[in-house]
Amino acid sequence: TKPGAGIVQGGLFWQYYEDLDKIKSSENYLSITKELYRKIKTVNGEELQKITPETPLKVGDKVTVRMILNTDRPMEFIHIKDMRAAGFEPLDVLSGYQWKNGLGYYQSTKDASTNFYIEQMPKGKYVFEYDYVANASGIFSNGITTIQNYYAPQMNAHTKGDVVEINSN
């Protein structure tokens, strides 16, 4: 209730728990997708082979994660959090500032995720890639990747959840 004249503003936030591999992607003017590739050595150098349920990983495989981000407007103060399966170990463990494809960002590796902090991002399509190694066998939830504006949290999107199978050698 409001005991007087004037405008009242409010908000509602709904939070619930769901298995990470059952989450569906969300997008609007901002979208993000995540793909996993096995790095294979060939006579022409390293090539990327998309990982599918028919081509499971083996312990010791080098994996490239590729995140594709699309935005139809310029944005500022963006945080991307890429969760990873417990069977993966990141190869880039040192945090630091990166400049790739016309975009500057700070990359920080944590225990269960890699985070990207972007101060300014013009509208367009951006691709982020980094590597891990498969270090344990099993069936793992690979989590989701989220993107959110720090000062306008309603500007957000996330990928769908995935399951990754890593076989022993």
- CA distances 158 to 22, 82, 91, Å, are 13, 10, 24
Structure tokens given for 150: 């720090």
Nearest-angstrom CA–CA distance, 4 and 6: 7
Give 83's strand partners. Answer: 113
Q: Would residue 15 count as lying in a domain?
A: no
Residue 25 carries which DSSP code?
A: P
Indicate which CATH number applies to the domain containing 43. Answer: 2.60.40.690
In tens, the pLDDT along 15-63 reads: 767 776 777 777 777 899 999 999 998 898 889 999 987 888 999 999 9
pLDDT at 130 over 80: yes
Domain coverage including residue 129? 20-167
Closest CA to 115 of 103, 101, 105, 125: 105
Q: Would residue 150 count as lying in a domain?
A: yes
Q: Would residue 108 count as lying in a domain?
A: yes
Q: Would residue 155 count as lying in a domain?
A: yes
Q: How many domains does one find in the chain?
A: 1
Residue 22: strand, helix, or coil: helix
Q: Would residue 86 count as lying in a domain?
A: yes
pTM above 0.85, yes or no: no
Q: Would residue 52 count as lying in a domain?
A: yes
Mean pLDDT across the chain: 89
Indicate the pLDDT class of residue 7, thresholds 50, 70 and 90: confident
Contact 147, 30 (CB under 8 A): yes
